[in-house]
Amino acid sequence: MESVNNIALEFNEFSKNYTNDMIGCVPHYKELISSFIKYLPDNFSPISILDLGCGNGNITSQLISHFPNATYTMVDASSEMIELCRKQFKSHNVIYSNMYFNDFIFKPESYDLIVAGFSLHHCDYKEKRSIFKAIYSSLKIGGMFSYSDLMINKTNPDHPVLLDEWHHFVNSNFPDGEKWAWVMEHYKAFDKPTDYLDQIECLRNVGFTNIQIPFKEGYWVYLQAVKS
């Protein structure tokens, strides 16, 4: 699989074998995806849910089985990913927005839950800050923002070790080395991860007070932030 020159086209291509590729290329992918349900508070029953960078719908599909009557809004730049979601969630109440986050209108106080799985690392720190601000204003009081991602700056002294461990993981699943070469090509062209401590500070700055990390393996992190 070759990298193409923008996020939408890259993920149109990636959509063909998406879940298997993610499981084989992203350490802890399954745990990080199941965290979106596992760590929700028992009494939390969202009725309006926004999935940012929904991809083929792996996070929404978990949420939908627990909250079948909620209204879902799914945003993704890739038309192929949105198409996969349309097929999968035909019988549910879903609004689709095939667009970049920058073009999406975040309506104030509209959602109980906003999720983002492995999508925000495509935004640099400045873009993350502006998305966090929009997310905060778009949540209802008591609403939760929860997201999974790789959370390390490329300049972090631990970054070379992370790459070594990641390389080992990918090659153990795809020994011919081609997949790792593609992962690194994609990583170089599209990925702008940010340290989780910087993200926590940024979330505090936009107004979140209750911020938790229920799951973390190295720099692979699932984080929750509540608007109180």
Ligand X SMILES: C[S@@+](CC[C@H](N)C(=O)[O-])C[C@H]1O[C@@H](n2cnc3c(N)ncnc32)[C@H](O)[C@@H]1O
Binding mask 8-27 for ligand X (x = CB under 6 A): ---x----------x-----
Q: Is the CB of 57 or the CB of 143 nearer to ligand X?
A: 57
By CB under 6 A, residue 55 contacts ligand X: yes
Binds ligand X (CB under 6 A): choice among 49, 54, 113, 203:
54
- Selected range binding ligand X among 119-127, 138-146, 164-172, 200-208, rule: CB under 6 A: 119-127
Least distance from C-beta 122 to ligand X, angstroms?
Answer: 4
Q: Is the CB of 23 or the CB of 142 nearer to ligand X?
A: 23
Binding mask 160-189 for ligand X (x = CB under 6 A): ------------------------------
By CB under 6 A, residue 101 contacts ligand X: yes
What secondary structure does DSSP assign to the chain, as a single string? Answer: ----SSHHHHHHHHGGGHHHHHHHHSTTHHHHHHHHHHTS-TT---SEEEEET-TTSHHHHHHHHH-TTSEEEEE-S-HHHHHHHHHHTTTS-EEEE-S-GGGS---TT-EEEEEEES-GGGS-HHHHHHHHHHHHHHEEEEEEEEEEEE---TTSTTHHHHHHHHHHHHHHHSTTSHHHHHHHHHHHHH-----HHHHHHHHHHHT--EEEEEEEETTEEEEEEE--
Binds ligand X (CB under 6 A): choice among 40, 112, 113, 122:
122
By CB under 6 A, residue 76 contacts ligand X: yes
Contacting positions for ligand X (CB under 6 A): 7, 11, 22, 53-55, 58-59, 75-78, 81, 100-101, 117-119, 122-123
